[in-house]
Amino acid sequence: MTPPRRDKPVTISDVAQLAGVSVPTVSRVLTGAAKVSEGRRSRVLDAIAELGYRPSAAAQTLASRRSNVIGIVAGNTSRYGYAEAIRGVEESARAAGFLSFIVVVETAEQDDVAAATDAVLRQSPAGVVVLKFDPPGVAALAALQPHIPVVALSGVPESGVPQAVLDESHAAAALTRHLLGLGHRTVHHVRVPPSGKEDGRTSGWRHALNEAGIAVPEIRDVSWDPRSAYEVGVAIAGESDVTAVLCGNDETAMGLIRGLHDAGKRVPDDVSVAGFDDHPLAAMFLPSLTTARQDFAELGRHGMAQLDALLTGAAPLALDTVDPPVLIRESTAAPRDAAPRD
């Protein structure tokens, strides 16, 4: 066995020569584009193994005008939901024979979006999955769509784009109703950075309040950093009318609870707090978090399945919606001053 030299890669013609066949024949056994007689076929396979030959993706892409890479475009790669969604996409992309590359769009500004679009298109990927979780994602989706097959991953259905959706609004409404059902007069909302005008989490909350004929309280905004939720927790500890809070995600809920705690309030005794996502630590927290499970990895897998369907020209999958289950745990309870409604 001769280990390949770092500076002289083995090419298809090396294989052809060793196997005693023509270059196109090697190509045929590689791609399966046409039948090759059993004898030649195995000689080619042997030569490939002996030389440790690996086809060059660049040459294949150039010659065939299709590639086996897909792009994952995201505003972020490491936050919980993002990382899980990326994992899901990559997993099923790999299972389908695709390699995934990552393009991060820092902001929704022209320059960043154009840079990301360029980076994606230059690779001539077979398709792209965009995490439409934030404004950069929304902008990148719009920029990419006219050029290449794209699937969006998101929390709210939208028409005109193949997509996989994790329907957040139902779960947010259910969580809000749960809190109201415990006897809270209203439910406040601490919002994480939204993807557009309003996310499903916020609209579900708003919907449930409207439905119950309750005035919609002012929204508090936080960044992704749990410390900003901590500050809000400290602040609302001083507001006696706040007895129930629905947070945009579990990290926010944990930060908020810690802030309330440090300001002398107990959860759920003084204030009920619900999170969103069912982060792996949500059940470990003290108190454990009432929340709605979001399976981001599954969302990613669905997205890749959509892309696959799109590429193979199969019947476009029906709108792919997953309804997140609600989990009632320790962080929510009846308020001090009221008995449950029913």
Partner DNA sequence: GTGAAAGCGCTAACAC
Partner DNA sequence: GTGTTAGCGCTTTCAC
Q: Which of 109, 221, 225, 239 binds a second copy (CB under 8 A)?
A: 225
**Binding flag, residue 49, a second copy (CB under 8 A):** no
Binding string, 156-195, against DNA, x = CB under 7 A? ----------------------------------------
**Interface segment toward DNA; rule CB under 7 A; list 36-44, 125-133, 208-216, 310-318:** 36-44
Reduced to 3 states (helix: H, G, I; strand: E, B; else coil), residue 341 is coil
Tokens of 169: 């609004």
Closer residue to DNA (CB): 14 or 91 = 14
Q: Which amino acid is at 215?
A: A
Check binding of 42 to DNA (CB under 7 A). Answer: no
CB of 7 to DNA, least distance (A): 11
Of 254, 199, 200, nearest in space to 225 by CA: 254
The answer to the question of residue 100 lying near a second copy (CB under 8 A) is yes
For residues 148 and 124, give the distance between their C-alpha atoms in angstroms, rounded to a whole number. 9
In the set 40, 87, 170, 293, which binds a second copy (CB under 8 A)?
A: 87
Q: Rule CB under 7 A: choose which of 49, 63, 102, 281 binds DNA.
A: 63
Q: Which of 5, 65, 241, 339 binds DNA (CB under 7 A)?
A: 65
CB 254 within 8 Å of CB 292: no
Q: Using CB under 7 A as the criterion, what x/- string covers residues 5-24 for binding DNA? A: ----x-xxx-------xxxx
Name the token pair of 57: 């993706």
Q: Tokens standing for 234?
A: 């400290």
* DSSP character string of 223-284: -SSHHHHHHHHHHHTT-TT--EEEESSHHHHHHHHHHHHHTT--TTTT-EEE-SB--TTTTT
Number of residues in contact with DNA, rule: CB under 7 A?
32
Run of H or E residues at 15: helix 12-19
Q: Considering only residues 42, 185, 196, 227, which one is a binding residue for a second copy as defined by CB under 8 A?
A: 227
- Residue 11 makes contact with a second copy by CB under 8 A: no
**How many whole angstroms separate alpha carbon 229 and alpha carbon 317?**
39
Which neighbouring-strand residues pair with 274? 246, 290
What value, to the nearest 5°, has the Cα angle with vertex 291 and ends 229 and 248?
35
What is the rounded (10 degree) CA torsion for 128, 133, 138, 139? -90
State the binding partner of 146 from DNA, a second copy, none, CB within 5 to 8 A by kind. a second copy
Burial of 99: CB neighbours in 10 Å, binned 0-12, 13-18, 19+: middle
How many CB atoms neighbour CB 247 within 10 A?
32
Residue 34 binds DNA (CB under 7 A): yes
- The two most distant CA atoms of the chain are separated, in Å, by 88
Q: Pick one of 6, 32, 197, 318: the residue that binds a second copy (CB under 8 A).
A: 6
The one among 33, 34, 49, 102 contacting a second copy by CB under 8 A: 102
User: How many whole angstroms separate alpha carbon 316 and alpha carbon 68?
Assistant: 20
Chain residues in the site for DNA (CB under 7 A): 9, 11-13, 21-28, 30-31, 33-37, 39-41, 53-56, 59-60, 62-65
Chain residues in the site for a second copy (CB under 8 A): 3-4, 6, 9, 54-59, 61-62, 67, 69, 76-78, 83-84, 86-87, 90-91, 94, 99-104, 118-119, 121-124, 146-148, 225-227, 230, 251, 254-255, 257-258, 261, 280-281, 283-286, 288, 297
